[in-house]
Chains A and B, each alone.
Chain A
Amino acid sequence: MTLAPELKDTSPEKLLAPVLSAFWDEDESWTLDVYKRHEGYEGLRKALAMSPDDLIAYVKDSGLRGRGGAGFPTGMKWQFIPQGDGKPHYLVVNADESEPGTCKDIPLLFANPHSLIEGMIIACYAIRSSHAFIYLRGEVVPVLRRLHSAVSEAYAAGYLGKNILGSGLDLDITVHAGAGAYICGEETALLDSLEGRRGQPRLRPPFPAVAGLYACPTVVNNVESIASVPAILQRGKDWFRSMGSEKSPGFTLYSLSGHVASPGQYEAPLGITLRQLLEMSGGMRPGHRLKFWTPGGSSTPMFTEEHLDVPLDYEGVGAAGSMLGTKALQCFDETTCVVRAVTRWTEFYAHESCGKCTPCREGTYWLVQLLRDIEAGKGVMADLDKLNDIADNINGKSFCALGDGAASPIFSSLKYFREEYEQHITGRGCPFDPAKSTVWADSRTEVNA
């Protein structure tokens, strides 16, 4: 490796910033011992030395924004909790990671669950909560095991329970496994589910900060948001702000998947581009070109090759017409039929629509019917406008963001790939061979490092 002068822009050492993932490769990285060897629970000590209000202000000043999709400032969410109201306060961690393409919280919890637990203790101290919940999707039993084990380690070590580290803070954490419903990633549906009901979203206001779990003030945060807090406390808000941009500071996990040479987790300062990530990681699979990709899961409008240089932060992606979402970079190459991809996503939304509101329940159903016809070569040109029209009747008119998410792939694929839809109609079928998109399609490969 004598490439030193060549490193510059695309050098992974410069572009990446592993913090949460910094010791995932260590033996037993999920244990308390290993976590403590990596400054674990040091952030908590610093937090407990502050007053809760100062702590909230500190997290607010750090600029940390929610990593679950919407990007709402974490500290501000905490600040919204009314104090001195005499009601119990709750922290609920949204670990219902189910957005298609999103795969960051699950590996994080599998390899480093204590970062979440430490962050939860800090958050509960700030918002004056003595009972917190982790709502984990049920379909990930290996992660559930590690959470059970981490929570019990934390109790045994005095980080949970009564009078934590002599601070007077009492805290219990309940690990709650869901039962299979994408909608429970929506924060108010999650609260209904956690209350033992069907997971259906609630009308807002009142917001969870006022009337959340059991109608008490509740903070709902994403796993990665909370897990980022201990590092901010330990290394300081200035360190955190030295990464990323003014409005999108800090580091985050980018999840690269699909037809790329090296799918996986890449932790980097906000604002890195897909081009940089691909250049450092070997690009698309050899012999193929990027066709379309999602910046933050299937609910974020898709991008194409022309967006390779969009800075992947909240503002950059927003300005380019999409959303940073969960930073789930699903990359598809030229072998992939965009109609097939969008049809499958739409089937997902139809399946996961909770049925509460009509635009989403009926709209996603009819989108699926139209898309299946088009994919099968039975569509007519007027169907394309109808797709657009139905999506328009879902978008912004549904009870929650699931409907908006369902409309996103429709709008964006029609915008960038309308010709491909037309091909399906005029050619009476799909012009693509699905076998060419599979991982093993190019199986005559050699590996030479």
Chain B
Amino acid sequence: MTTSPSERGVSLGMPELPAPAYPDDVRARLETDAREIIARYPDSRSALLPLLHLVQAEEGHVTRTGMQFCADVLELTTAEVTAVATFYTMYRRRPSGDYQVGVCTNTLCAVMGGDAIFSELQEHLGVGNGETTDDGKVTLEHIECNAACDFAPVVMVNWEFFDNQTPDTAKRLVDDLRAGRPVEPTRGAPLCTFKETARILAGFPDERPGAVEASGGAGPASLVGLRLARGETAPARVVHPREGSSQDGDGAPQDRGAPEPSPSEHPSSHDAPQDTSASDPAHPAGPAAEEGE
């Protein structure tokens, strides 16, 4: 990690030094990819989002070196590139784990159990929102609605769907990820690492045999209406023994003297200002040479 003094300390009026470049061989390889991406668009600047995915695929997060690279190939300023990189939530600004575990805590998933899953995972892993386990395997995050509400509660790992989760299944999932056991999403392909996922997002198709076919067609919830329309199945009636529900707890909702979470612990304290890559001295976004190998 090359960190200049100005990056570590508070600099008053001293412009930040330019980011170090990628090693020549890396740069040459990325330039080939970049040319392919740029060719997809009538105007080269449209390639910026995929290029940021590409440099994220290289280093696991968007570094100053990566942004400099994007600026160079698109003939933009680094300020223009940074403005874009910091706007979108999928670009990470610091090194993170191989597997990004995102728990949906938007209203519907949260109510259906996402909040419970997220808090149990934090406890189980001993990390907070946006933090990574010590072994560098899992970065835990809460995410916004991922368009799978009929499969709630939803957990995404490297943006593959893990539908209908519970705290137990989610804990088993992260345990498997940390132990290196193979994990298969309910909808999606066998997991690749975060970097490999980022390369697909840059527009380079997943070449692994069977990746497109994996997990089959539509998920079960997607087919409910179709099956009904064909008269195939009456939906399974889940009969709930009513005596069960009234005895646990004290029946009717009542005042629990709700504990008040501090803003930083609040399950969705995500509207707090975030450090930008350049203003976060604890995590200078220089090139992670050891990751770039």
Contacts and interface: CB of A to CB of B under 8 A. Distances in A.
Interface in B214-235: 215-231, 233-235
Interface string A84-127: 00001000000001111111011100110000000000000000
A2 interface: no
Contacts of B60: none
Nearest to A377: B258
A205 interface: no
A37 interface: no
A110 B150 CA distance: 15
Contacts of A176: 46, 49-50, 203
B213 A442 contact: no
Contact of A196 (B84, B159, B236, B239): B84
Contacts of A152: 205
Nearest to A431: B253
B149 A142 contact: no
Given A196-B45, A257-B150, A433-B249, 9 more contacts: A103-B151, A142-B187, A196-B49, A257-B108, A287-B240, A345-B106, A354-B87, A431-B256, A449-B233
Which 8 A-B pairs have CB atoms at the shortest separation, nearest pair first?
A: A264-B224, A266-B225, A196-B48, A179-B88, A180-B89, A142-B188, A180-B90, A16-B229
B207 to A, nearest CB: 10
A447 B48 CA distance: 51
Nearest to B86: A198
A25 B113 CA distance: 28
Interface in A27-44: 27-30
Contacts of B91: 179-180
Contact of B108 (A131, A258, A364, A372): A258
A316 interface: no
Interface string A4-33: 000000001100111001101111111000
- The DSSP consensus for interface residues of chain B is loop
A344 B226 contact: no
Nearest to B146: A139
Given A142-B161, A439-B152, A263 B201 contact: no
Interface in B136-189: 143-153, 156, 158-161, 164, 166, 185, 187-189
Interface of B: 40-43, 45-50, 52-53, 74, 83-84, 87-91, 102, 105-108, 110-113, 115-116, 143-153, 156, 158-161, 164, 166, 185, 187-189, 197, 200-203, 205-206, 211-213, 215-231, 233-242, 244-245, 249, 253-258, 260-261, 263, 266, 268, 270-271
Nearest to A364: B271
B110 A344 contact: yes
B41 to A, nearest CB: 7
Given A110-B187, A377-B257, A285 B266 contact: no
A197 B84 contact: yes
Contacts of B43: 195-196, 214
A100 B215 contact: no
Interface stretch (A225-233, A240-248, A317-325, A328-336): A328-336
A262 B216 CA distance: 21
10 contacts: A1-B231, A21-B223, A88-B42, A102-B149, A106-B148, A110-B217, A264-B150, A264-B221, A433-B253, A440-B166
